[in-house]
Amino acid sequence: MTATSEPRLKITYATLRNDNEQLHAQYDAGLAVARAELGGTHGLFINGEWRPAPKTFEKRSPIDGSLVGIFASGNKKDVQDAVAAARAASPGWARTAWLERVAIMRRMADLISERQMELAALMAIEVGKNRLEALGDVEESADLIRYYCDQVVANDGFDRPMGNLGDPTVHTRSVLKPHGVWAIISPFNFPMALSGGPSGGALVAGNAVVYKPSSDAPMCGVKLAEIADLAGLPRGVFNMVSGPGATVGQELQENEGIDGMLFTGSYEIGFNHVFKEFSRVFPKPVIVEMGGKNPAIVSARADLEEAAEGVMRSAFGYGGQKCSACSRVYVQAPVYDAFLEALIAKTQAIAVGDPTDKKNWLGPLVNAKAKAKYEAAIAEVTRDGRIVTGGKLLEGQGTDLYVAPTVVADLPADHHIWRDELFVPLVAVAKVDSLDEAFERANDTIYGLTAGFFSDDHEEVERFKEVSQAGVIYINRRAGATTGAWPGIQPFGGWKGSGTTGKASGGLYYVQQFMREQSQTLVD
């Protein structure tokens, strides 16, 4: 179902403009479709069928508290059934010619794009993203799937001839084969991109999938399952089990029928639970993508307007609730005051309110837990540093989850706010005496996801590229100091405590991770 018959617009995070009236008209039509879908009851998708669950949970919109829907709260038995279905389906899917798998997955990507406006509006209502951020998330999921399809094609299905040391009777091939069944566990903040993307990678590689959406974004999970079904994935190849991390997530971690795990979420759960506990009998592949504490560094030789715009967009886009959000800024002393002034002006100009309304750039926090984190951080900063702007709850909105984007200064260098991911719209700014000090402080964290640098000096830029300990770095990027990667343009993955494999999503080495190599030698 398309929201309008007009041609689709090409959407990325960095290139869309909010003054595009055609886009807004299409979004409004999608919003009407989305609103008509609210309030329903949704089941689990197991073995090609929708199944009701005895236990359910309500999901309400952070925008105005309205009911998004009633969703199935899966239990261990549901996960076991989904794993059994996936195991039964996986040999057939693995045998399916890779070109056919690619065709089905491309259909899935196209179905997502066809419904981009409806899906973006549903996402906005479900998790509070603004129009362009939600559209970007939806299109990113489709483009991630397309990119993995392209990679399989570019590599001839990863079935390649090897050498024979001049002996024509020996024929060896390197073949990448799927593992079998992958679990995909997703966070709330990119509910389409970080569900469709990893699932797409696992599926096009020939695996069956059991997918668990975040309980803050179950509607996106339901929609992805609907689309997988419509795309023609055989029964049991894609299964969706919504429900709590402590039951559904835990069972996925423990179930011996799962051959590989891709988890995206917090360091606390990703590293301390999933990474450490997934393999029990023998080592199994586990890809864990986690949080960030992403720095931007502003040199005395930066374009300060560009730097302030890039930092503002990355610190406050989707309320700082992105793994790539900029939460720390180190500014060289001579330009500190001017930079701070520019950042304050841009922060105070942010329009906060219902994010489905085109005039608003920033919506509510996702839930009460995030609001409690914001309030705790504000109390700490008031005590230990200085709130430069923001630092308060915003009254008169649809719920009590709207907060002011906040810039803080004068925090001691050893304060935990420089190191711990908060995931709220709060950015801390520090004055530094040298770039070396800035680089050192930027790297002084367990995380290593993204980092930004602003300078017009070539040597400084080269130095930043050399020393930065982050998987994704941006230099002089007005569209976002640390955020806004796109498949096939900026591979996206974390180093250190931000990710386990050093291979980035939307990049050249990603889809291979869902396969294992078999060397096949045949002698005549």
Structure tokens, 313: 């967009």
Residue of 96, 266, 360, 443 that binds ligand NAD (CB under 6 A): 266
Distance CA 314, CA 476 (A): 13
β-strand pairing of 238-240 with 208-212: parallel
* Residue 212 in contact with ligand NAD, rule: CB under 6 A: yes
Confirm or reject binding of residue 12 to ligand NAD (CB under 6 A). Answer: no
Q: Which is nearer to ligand NAD, 26 or 264 (CB)?
A: 264
Q: What is the CA radius of gyration of the chain?
A: 23
Among 406, 490, 498, 513, binds ligand NAD (CB under 6 A): 498
Residues 6+ apart with CB under 8 A from 456: 301, 302, 303, 476
Decide whether 26 or 73 has the Cβ nearer to ligand NAD.
73
Q: Tell me the catalytic residues.
A: 289, 323
Does residue number 190 form part of the binding site for ligand NAD (CB under 6 A)?
yes
DSSP 10: P
Q: Which of 215, 242, 399, 512 binds ligand NAD (CB under 6 A)?
A: 215
In the region spanning residues 297 to 326, those forming contacts with ligand NAD, defined by CB under 6 A, are 323
Which range in 233-241, 311-319, 392-400, 491-499 contacts ligand NAD by CB under 6 A?
A: 491-499
Task: For residue 225, state whether it binds ligand NAD (rule: CB under 6 A).
Answer: no
- 3-class secondary-structure state, position 384: helix
Q: Pick from 94, 124, 181, 185: which binds ligand NAD (CB under 6 A)? A: 185
Q: Measured from the CB atom, is 245 or 398 closer to ligand NAD?
A: 245
Q: What pairing do the DSSP bridges indicate for beta strands 40-42 and 67-72?
A: parallel
Contact flag: residue 137 with ligand NAD (CB under 6 A): no
Q: What is the DSSP secondary-structure string of 418-451?
A: GTS---SSEEEEEEES-HHHHHHHHH-SSEESEE
Distance of alpha carbon 482 from the chain centroid:
14
Tally DSSP H helices, then E strands, for the chain.
15, 22
Instruction: Give the x-and-dash track for 448-487 against ligand NAD (CB under 6 A).
Output: -x--------------------------------------
Instruction: Point out the residue whose Cβ comes nearest to ligand NAD.
Output: 245
User: Judged by CB under 6 A, does residue 367 bind ligand NAD?
Assistant: no
Cβ closer to ligand NAD: 390 or 491?
491
Contact call for residue 250 and ligand NAD (CB under 6 A): yes
In the list 74, 178, 197, 249, the residue contacting ligand NAD (rule: CB under 6 A) is: 249
Rounded Cα distance, 480 and 14, in Å: 8
The residues, any chain, with a CB within 8 Å of residue 368's CB and separated by 6 or more, are 401
Residue with smaller CB distance to ligand NAD, 321 or 399: 321
For residue 416, the SS3 value is helix
Q: Identify which of 506, 512, 501, 467 has the alpha carbon closest to the alpha carbon of residue 490.
A: 506
- Complex with ligand NAD: residue 406 or 498, whichever CB lies closer: 498
CA distances from 369 to 263, 324, 374, 418, 482 (A): 21, 20, 9, 20, 25
- Considering the rule CB under 6 A, would residue 214 count as an interface residue with ligand NAD? yes
Binding site for ligand NAD (CB under 6 A): 185-190, 194, 212, 214-215, 245-246, 249-250, 253, 264-266, 269, 273-274, 289-292, 323, 421, 423, 449, 494, 498-499
